[in-house]
Amino acid sequence: MPLPRFDRLPAERQELILATARRHFADHGTEGASYNKIIEAAGFSKTAAYHYFDGREDLLSAVLDGVLDRLLGALGPWVPVADEAEFWARLEAGAGALAAHLYGHPDDLALADAAIGHTRDGDAPWPAWFDALVSNGRQLGVIRTDVDHGLLVAVTAAVVRAADTWALTRMQASTKPSEPAVGNEGAQLWSLLRGLWSAAGSFSEERKSDAR
């Protein structure tokens, strides 16, 4: 996290520094971005930089905190719902809002994977969102119970993230780039999740039926 002096900077100056760093990390990767080039672009010396951050990893952590906050803000908290129809409607709304945010913020898109795996003081808010989702789905009978809960949480998060990346790639190639939803991307995501969450027995019965 930034050192206390950073918090005493004007809000506009803080945002300029973090936005500059975010752009460099997005363009060159969390491992490839140069700390020296970031602080030079932000308009202060390396000596001055150490008044605000302990070093490169401290600055990266602050950037990822911001990305994570925006991703979670787009999704909104998972509030348990009472029935299957409401469950799917809530999930679709959250996924759509996240895709729209990432479509409009390419730096956040580039850093989303790193932010999703980022922890703050031992807290992992992204997995916690999917943990609440899977717990609610299991209570409603939407999500299978024969697979380890933690595994389902991790795989669900990975599927949603991969689907968002795929959909955004298609959006960027669309003739109507201002529209954050294209074609049947959402339907394909829901199909993937339904297959992932279906009980093994149901899947086996479907295969037997197809073979007849």
Q: 107 is written with which tokens?
A: 């730096």
Q: Which pLDDT belongs to residue 182? A: 46
User: Model confidence over 114-160: pLDDT tens digits?
Assistant: 888 787 776 778 888 999 999 999 999 999 999 999 999 989 988 87
Q: 204 is written with which tokens?
A: 């086996």
Q: 185 is written with which tokens?
A: 């991307």
How distant, in Å, are the alpha carbons of 17, 18, 51, 66, 176 from that of 5? 13, 14, 7, 18, 45
Buried b (16+ CB within 10 A) or exposed e, 125-156: ebbebbbebbbbbeeeebbbeeeeeeebbebb
Q: In a 3-state reduction of DSSP, which class is residue 123? A: strand
- Alpha-carbon distance of 65 to 119, in angstroms, equals 8
Q: Which pLDDT belongs to residue 176? A: 52
Q: Which pLDDT belongs to residue 138? A: 96
Enumerate residue ranges in the chain where pLDDT < 50.
Answer: 177-178, 181-183, 201-212
